[in-house]
Amino acid sequence: MAAETDESGPTRETRRSGPLVAITRWMENLGETGFAYLLLTPVFVLLGAIALYPLLRTLELSLYTNIIGVGEPEFVGLDHYVSLFTGASDPWLPGTSAFLWGDVTLSSTFPFIHVEGLLRSALAVTLIFTLVSVFFETIIGFGQALVLDQEFRGRSWVRVAIIIPWAIPIVIQGMIFYLMFHPSTGFATEYLGAWGIVAETNTLNDPFSSLLIVTVADIWKTSAFMALLILAGLQSIDRSLYDVARVAGASRWQQFKLITFPLILPTLGVAILFRTIDAMRVYGLIDSVSSCTVVPSLSCMVVATFGSQRGLASAIAFVTAIIIGIAVLGVIYQQYKEGI
Amino acid sequence: MAAETPTETQPRTDETEREGPLARWTQGVISDPDRRKLLYRALFYVITLFFLVTTLFPFYWLLVLALTPNSLILAGDWDLPFLRPQGFNPEAFVEVFQQIPFHLYVFNSFVLATATTIIVIVIASLAGYVFGRLSFPGRGPLMLAILMVSYFPPAAFLIPLFEAFTGNVIVIPFLGIPLFEPPRLVNTPGSMVLPFSALFLPLSIFILTTFYAQIPDGLEDAARVEGTTRLGALFRVIMPLSAPGVATAAVLTFIAVYNEYFFSSIMALGNEPQQWSPLVGGLLQYQSLYSTEFNLMAAASIVGVLPVVILVVVAQERIVSGLTAGALKE
């Protein structure tokens, strides 16, 4: 420890030496680039082990058929991907689910498009859920942001109330809507069932009703997230623009149309992409409100099959990753344009 | 307007006489700025009230269910449209801990969330320092790569992670070279803390990058002249000066872990507290094993929601600034 032979020349910072001091000195003498990459090592290790490795391994596993408990994995190439879209793998998927719809029919009787087949398809359910929930979240979030943009007494309490749904655990969000529509407790089925919005009996086992409930639950929880992002955009708008518009005699609607909306559009785009990426992962909400056999989403299918047919489950997981990856590219492009 | 299709031959002046009270009122609002202001004000309050009711009603519904004795819930006489508790039974909030050890699930959630938060803050601080204060080749592409990873669905990571955490040998993908045999991590905190850390790390990196970049260089230089190392300057000068940013990242990570469903429900193989099953496990236990104890489900939900509600009320400024900084990066 107390060796006095300090040979390292001009950088005589301390008289002690030892492994710790040696490491510190080595780090201090690193160049900026070397130091940067050294400090990023934990990030690389963690993301490499928990994200990059699994992603590549999922791709590899999806090329093999691997039925748990039956023999050795066997190389099948892209067969799983093909079978997902031809329906050949349907027996592995839970319930009556198929990956692509088989029997969407059009007819002249109400409601014109019969969606039973569509609602058994994991791909279709995920996309419908994403489109509908993000659409309404954007509109409601915009409304909430416009309210929060005003000055009024109690504004911060209103903001808390609007954020709270965003902050609650998914399982509790699911529980709330489960209890609202459960046949023994729910008060909502009676009303909505009478109007024909949800099935009057066995609501949580009816694909259409369950998808609707899950979508509403998601809108309830995540509109606040949209509202906060849009609010940040609204507050970054230069207020003097409105003064100019008022002097020029613009009505409130014109101010909104000509100033607010164009200036908020980039923020809105980013927010929508974020929500789209997030909505396409939906799993927990479905699992706790209804079940994966009733409302099959992509993530649901992965969880439901990975205990029996690991190769097929990997293929579904990879398809999910690709679809989300396309939306991610949108975000990356946006960030790249802004110059990170 | 009420005046519908006046025939072309009639003179314009007749129009006002034929209008009903609604049309007259509309006319007044359009022409009179004061009345217009009043209308906007009223509309604003109606909309605000609507948002408040829709966001808070589900919590009221939980409270109604929790306070109503279970026998009356099953009777289902809700006295609509003014939903209110049938009876008053606060014992549900005691029973919820007796039926299953619900406090242990909440404890597990706290432990997992705290552990993840500490790991994320330390690693993200290093990365935030690098991205916020150093310039080096590859900075932009690296940030984009980290951003990209955080968006991939957990389902795409699940299968290999599950294999690794159940103790199977890790092999290099496509080469088939076995690396090592990992310890069996399922049913331990590690199987959840590791994926959580990776998933929620990028958001904290972006928040801390923004905050650390704002500390003037002079302060760091002063600390370096005093004889601290670069790392010392980060942890003794930059981090304390960016305390709001660190708090923001910590609060958001904590909430994200506390709310997580996917890995929480899968990596604890059963929903037992001994297997480190968090809040998710406790509530699913009620949903599956005690599927008629509706008042207890509601009471458990309220207990589970309280910590985040308190956190949101206390830290709302931090949450708002963090979410917007993380997503929009100004």
Give pLDDT, residue B10: 46
* Inter-chain CB proximity A58 and B47 less than 8 Å: no
* Inter-chain CB proximity B227 and A143 less than 8 Å: no
Estimate the crossing angle of helix A207-235 against helix A122-148, to 10 degrees: 40
Per-residue pLDDT at A96 exceeds 70: no
* Inter-chain CB proximity A54 and B149 less than 8 Å: no
Q: Is residue B160 situated within a structural domain?
A: yes
Beta bridge partner(s), residue A113: A106
Portion of chain B with pLDDT greater than 70, in percent: 90
Give pLDDT, residue B326: 62
Give pLDDT, residue B80: 65
Give pLDDT, residue A124: 82
Among A172, A224, A302, the residue with its CB nearest the CB of B283 is A172
Whether residues B219 and B141 fall in one domain? yes
Q: Which residue of A has its CA nearest to B75?
A: A184
pLDDT tens for residues B240-283?
Answer: 888 888 998 999 999 999 999 999 988 888 888 888 889 988 89
Residues A92, B210: contact at Cβ < 8 Å? no
Whole-number mean pLDDT of chain A? 80
* Inter-chain CB proximity B309 and A324 less than 8 Å: no
The arithmetic mean of pLDDT across residues B79-92, rounded, is 75
Whether residues B82 and B140 fall in one domain? no
Whether residues B76 and B117 fall in one domain? no
Portion of chain B with pLDDT greater than 90, in percent: 20
Per-residue pLDDT at B88 exceeds 60: yes
Please tell me the distance from the alpha carbon of residue B282 to that of residue B235, in angstroms, as a whole number.
38
Per-residue pLDDT at A125 exceeds 80: yes
Q: Which residue of A has its CA nearest to B225?
A: A13
- Write the DSSP assignment of B268-308 as a string of letters: SSSS-GGGT--HHHHHHHHHHHSTT-HHHHHHHHHHHHHHH
Q: Is A193 on the interface with B (CB under 8 A)?
A: no
Q: Is residue B198 situated within a structural domain?
A: yes
- Worst-scoring range by mean pLDDT, A130-139, B5-14, B314-323? B5-14
Give pLDDT, residue A15: 56
Q: pLDDT-derived band of residue B92, with 50, 70 and 90 as boundaries?
A: confident
Per-residue pLDDT at A99 exceeds 70: no
The arithmetic mean of pLDDT across residues A194-209, rounded, is 77
pLDDT tens for residues B141-197?
Answer: 888 888 888 788 888 899 889 988 888 888 877 777 777 778 888 888 888 999 999
pLDDT tens for residues B36-56?
Answer: 788 888 888 898 899 999 889
* Inter-chain CB proximity A232 and B328 less than 8 Å: yes
Q: pLDDT-derived band of residue A87, with 50, 70 and 90 as boundaries?
A: low
Q: What is the DSSP letter of A205?
A: G
Per-residue pLDDT at B2 exceeds 50: no
Q: Using an 8 Å CB-CB cutoff, list chain A residues near B139.
A: 36
Please tell me the distance from the alpha carbon of residue A171 to that of residue A18, in angstroms, as a whole number.
52
Per-residue pLDDT at B203 exceeds 70: yes
Whether residues B202 and B306 fall in one domain? yes
Give pLDDT, residue A313: 86
- Worst-scoring range by mean pLDDT, A71-75, B165-169, B225-229? A71-75
Give pLDDT, residue A172: 93
Q: Is A165 on the interface with B (CB under 8 A)?
A: yes
Per-residue pLDDT at B125 exceeds 90: yes
Estimate the crossing angle of helix B33-67 against helix B21-31, to 10 degrees: 110
Secondary element (H or E) of residue A65: strand A64-65
Q: Which residue of B has its CA nearest to A217?
A: B58
For chain B, what is the domain count? 2
- A274 token code pair: 């974020």
Choice between A87 and A97, residue whose per-residue pLDDT is larger? A87
Query: Which of A 4-63 lie inside 8 A of B, CB atoms?
Result: 13, 24, 27-28, 32-33, 35-37, 39-40, 42-43, 46-47, 49-61
Query: Which of B 55-94 lie inside 8 A of A, CB atoms?
Result: 55-56, 58-59, 61-62, 65, 73-74, 76, 78, 80, 83
Per-residue pLDDT at A261 exceeds 90: no
Give pLDDT, residue B107: 93
Whether residues B34 and B55 fall in one domain? yes
Residues B257, B117: contact at Cβ < 8 Å? yes
Whether residues B251 and B227 fall in one domain? yes
Of B66, B89, B112, the position where a domain reaches its end is B89
Whether residues B133 and B234 fall in one domain? yes
Q: Using an 8 Å CB-CB cutoff, list chain A residues near B327.
A: 229, 270-271, 274
- Write the DSSP assignment of B201-254 as a string of letters: HHHHHHHHHHHHHTS-HHHHHHHHHTT--HHHHIIIIIHHHTHHHHHHHHHHHH
Q: Is residue B324 situated within a structural domain?
A: yes
- B186 token code pair: 């399922």
Q: Using an 8 Å CB-CB cutoff, list chain A residues near B227.
A: 13
Q: Which residue of A has its CA nearest to B326?
A: A229
- Using CA atoms in the order A156, A157, A160, A162, what is the torsion angle rounded to 10 degrees? -100
This model of the complex carries an ipTM of 0.84
Per-residue pLDDT at A3 exceeds 50: no
Please tell me the distance from the alpha carbon of residue A160 to that of residue A149, in angstroms, as a whole number.
14
pLDDT tens for residues B174-187?
Answer: 777 777 778 888 88
Whether residues B66 and B199 fall in one domain? no
Q: Is residue B304 situated within a structural domain?
A: yes
To test the contact with chain A by mutation, choose from B60, B129, B151 the residue with the greatest count of A C-beta atoms within 10 A, namely B151
Q: Is residue B301 situated within a structural domain?
A: yes
- Worst-scoring range by mean pLDDT, A13-27, B81-95, B120-134? A13-27
State whether residue A64 is helix, strand or coil.
strand
Residue B308 sits in a domain whose CATH number is 1.10.3720.10
* Inter-chain CB proximity A46 and B261 less than 8 Å: no
Q: Is the peptide bond before B81 cis (omega within 30 degrees of 0)?
A: yes
Q: Is residue B8 situated within a structural domain?
A: no
The arithmetic mean of pLDDT across residues A292-309, rounded, is 83
Choice between B67 and A121, residue whose per-residue pLDDT is larger? B67
Among A42, A164, A176, the residue with its CB nearest the CB of B309 is A164
State whether residue A114 is helix, strand or coil.
strand
Q: Is residue B2 situated within a structural domain?
A: no
Q: Using an 8 Å CB-CB cutoff, list chain A residues near B129.
A: 39
Among B151, B227, B324, the residue with its CB nearest the CB of A331 is B151
Whether residues B181 and B301 fall in one domain? yes
Q: How many CB pairs under 8 A join A and B?
A: 296
Q: pLDDT-derived band of residue B17, with 50, 70 and 90 as boundaries?
A: low
Q: Is residue B157 situated within a structural domain?
A: yes
Per-residue pLDDT at B117 exceeds 90: yes
What domains are there in chain A, each with its CATH number?
Answer: 1-30 (no CATH), 93-305 (1.10.3720.10)
Of B44, B69, B89, the position where a domain reaches its end is B89
Portion of chain A with pLDDT greater than 90, in percent: 14
Domain that holds residue B69: 14-89
Whether residues B44 and B120 fall in one domain? no
Residue A109's contacts (CB-CB under 8 Å, 6 or more residues apart) are: none
Per-residue pLDDT at B204 exceeds 70: yes
Beta bridge partner(s), residue A105: A114
Q: Which residue of B has its CA nearest to A266?
A: B328
* Inter-chain CB proximity A284 and B262 less than 8 Å: yes
pLDDT tens for residues A140-150?
Answer: 999 999 888 88
Give pLDDT, residue A170: 93
Q: Is A250 on the interface with B (CB under 8 A)?
A: no
Whether residues B56 and B188 fall in one domain? no
Whether residues B103 and B239 fall in one domain? yes
Per-residue pLDDT at A116 exceeds 80: no
Among B173, B199, B297, the residue with its CB nearest the CB of A57 is B173
Beta bridge partner(s), residue B180: B170
For residue A171, CA distances in Å to A104, A228, A287, B286, B315 come to: 32, 23, 9, 12, 22
Of B46, B66, B89, the position where a domain reaches its end is B89
* Inter-chain CB proximity A167 and B154 less than 8 Å: no
For residue A247, CA distances in Å to A243, B79, B236 come to: 6, 54, 52
